């Protein structure tokens, strides 16, 4: 959907008017669909939390369309943030900086910092520009469910709960933005996402990782990381091992009368025997796994499975983000062959 001439897209004007009236509207970004509301308004932010059924102690990411908007939201922009924005904006990177108090305290969940990104999607940028507002926008799904990568996903979760949906086709990246805290001397990755640690390090040098990503006992600081997330209806268990080991686990569950689903890749699909086998991309191109992961997880809800086994991935490159989402969806349940 090209938006060079916004007059050809009356839905953008209508959506912008709804946002200006402190209603909430779902819109596409390059990562997932966001549920946007006026980041300056307590009323609008309350509607976001209500629509999602999301606890209000979870901070939200603010979306902007021009870098000038950032200056109206933060006290100062660090050199690290400048370098990262130069390299990755617009794109799937969120920077955390010190808030100047302009955005609603409900956006920051009472923190002194604010998370901001500039999405790389023509519809998102056109909508933000038309509304002339910074938009607080978590993923446009019911809290705990897999994030939506199509307007159809949004409609399934939120019809009747929000003012509208702007359909801009399927999202491309598939997993949410990488969140980087730029308030200290060394940038800290709080959530892995579409921009990898290696890419960030190539731009700014030394990078740290939030201990909460390495231990389930640490309290996370990043938007969207505090609660059980990304989960299909049936319980999900990760499996690290051979196809033979996975098939044995499937067989045991079937003997107990369970309908079993397996989430795997193009390369392994033919080696897996379950009641429902869903492929999420190619192991040789992990970006294809990222872009199809949430759609694949949602597909199991239509298959009435009792349990889902999912194969695992190496934690390198975008594999870090994929495994982060799978571990959250599985509540860290993993069965290892050895």
177 is in an annotated binding site: yes
| Burial of 172: CB neighbours in 10 Å, binned 0-12, 13-18, 19+ | middle
The answer to whether the annotation marks 147 as part of a ligand binding site is: yes
Q: Is 325 annotated as a binding residue?
A: no
Cα–Cα distances (Å) from 63 to 28, 66, 127, in that order, read 12, 10, 11
Report how far apart, in Å, the C-alpha atoms of 128 and of each of 19, 23, 162 are: 9, 14, 18
Known binding residue 137? Answer is yes
Q: Roughly what angle, to the nearest 10 degrees, separates helices 286-299 and 319-329? A: 20
Let me know: does 176 contact 191? Beta carbons within 8 Å.
yes
Q: What sign results for the dihedral spanned by CA atoms 281, 286, 292, 294?
A: positive
294 known member of a binding site: no
Radius of gyration of the chain (CA): 20
The answer to whether residues 19 and 133 touch, using CB atoms and an 8 Å cutoff, is: yes
63 is in an annotated binding site: yes
Q: How far apart are CA 334 and CA 323, in angstroms?
A: 11
Query: Residue 181: helix, strand or coil by DSSP?
Result: strand
Residue 265 contacts residue 280 (beta carbons within 8 Å)? yes
230 annotated as belonging to a binding site for a ligand: yes
Angstrom distance (rounded) from CA 201 to CA 268: 32
139 marked ligand binding residue: yes
> Known binding site for L-threonine: residues?
31, 117, 137, 177
Residue ranges for the known binding site are 31, 54, 58, 63, 113, 117, 137, 139, 147, 177, 191, 230
Binding residues for ATP: 54, 58, 63, 113, 139, 147, 191, 230
């Amino acid at each position: 959907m090209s938006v060079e001439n916004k007059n050809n897209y009356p839905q953008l004007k209508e959506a912008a008017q709804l946002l200006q009236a402190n209603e909430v509207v779902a819109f596409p970004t390059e990562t997932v669909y966001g549920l946007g509301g006026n980041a300056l308004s307590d009323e609008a932010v309350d509607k976001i939390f209500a629509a999602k059924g999301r606890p209000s102690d979870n901070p939200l990411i603010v979306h902007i369309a021009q870098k000038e908007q950032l200056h109206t939201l933060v006290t100062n922009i660090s050199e690290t943030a400048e370098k990262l924005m130069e390299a990755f904006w617009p794109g799937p990177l969120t920077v955390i900086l010190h808030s100047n108090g302009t955005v609603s305290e409900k956006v920051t969940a009472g923190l002194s910092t604010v998370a901001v990104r500039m999405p790389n999607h023509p519809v998102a940028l056109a909508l933000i520009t038309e509304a002339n507002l910074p938009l607080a926008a978590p993923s446009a799904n019911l809290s705990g469910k897999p994030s939506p990568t199509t307007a159809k996903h949004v409609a399934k979760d939120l019809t009747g709960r929000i003012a509208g949906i702007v359909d801009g086709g399927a999202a491309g990246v598939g997993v949410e933005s990488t969140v980087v805290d730029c308030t200290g001397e060394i940038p800290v990755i709080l959530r892995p996402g579409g921009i990898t640690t290696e890419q960030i390090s190539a731009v700014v040098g030394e990078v740290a990782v939030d201990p909460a990503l390495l231990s389930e006992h640490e309290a996370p600081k990043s938007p969207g990381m505090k609660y059980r997330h990304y989960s299909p209806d049936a319980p999900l268990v990760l499996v690290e091992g051979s196809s033979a080991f996975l098939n044995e686990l499937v067989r045991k569950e079937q003997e107990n009368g369970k309908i079993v689903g397996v989430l795997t890749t193009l390369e392994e699909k033919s080696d897996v025997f379950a009641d429902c086998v869903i492929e999420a991309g190619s192991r040789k191109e992990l970006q294809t796994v990222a872009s199809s992961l949430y759609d694949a997880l949602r597909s199991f809800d239509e298959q009435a499975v009792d349990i889902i086994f999912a194969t695992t991935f190496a934690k390198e490159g975008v594999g870090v983000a994929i495994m982060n989402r799978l571990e959250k969806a599985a509540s860290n349940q993993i069965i290892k062959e050895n």
